[in-house]
Copies of this chain bind each other. A is one copy, B any other.
Amino acid sequence: MARPSLIPPAILALMREGQRHAWTLEQVSADLAARAVQANFSSVFRAVERLVGERQLRKVQLPTGAARYELSGAHHDHLHCSGCDALTPVPCLAANLDLAALEQSTGYAMTDHDIVLEGVCPRCRQHAVS
């Protein structure tokens, strides 16, 4: 190994202490910069990809098509606010699904899931004309 990478650990640190629950690449990049960690966008991209590969991060696809990254930790699912784009973690929803039955009926071998339900968060409900 040559030239040990500073970026991946910095990303993990940032996320562990972070205010956010999930980050876009853009946000990871910005937060690194805010911590004076020099990192080109490509490097951030590659670091995040690697971390996802190592299962230290999880990539979450929003219904909008945009992706977010979060610490792996305990598996959970998400609610996505169509108003403000917030992503709120909720306990794993697949626990309530009978995956075994699904595998039976479809022949699929389930490997993963990433359930994102669409809704309007409390704040946006308030601001909406009621």
Contacts and interface: CB of A to CB of B under 8 A. Distances in A.
Interface of A: 61-65, 67, 79, 81-82, 88, 90, 93-94, 96-99, 102-103, 105-122, 125
Given A107-B125, A111-B118, 14 more contacts: A61-B62, A61-B63, A61-B64, A82-B111, A96-B97, A97-B97, A107-B122, A109-B125, A110-B117, A110-B119, A111-B120, A112-B119, A113-B117, A114-B118
Question: What 10 A-B pairs come out closest when comparing CB atoms?
Answer: A107-B122, A108-B119, A112-B118, A110-B119, A113-B117, A109-B120, A79-B108, A111-B119, A115-B115, A61-B63
Number of copies of this chain that the complex holds = 2
A92 to B, nearest CB: 11
The interface residues of chain A, by DSSP majority, are classed as mixed
A64 B116 CA distance: 14
B65 A79 contact: no
Contacts of A105: 90
Nearest to A110: B119
A102 B122 CA distance: 12
Nearest to A98: B96
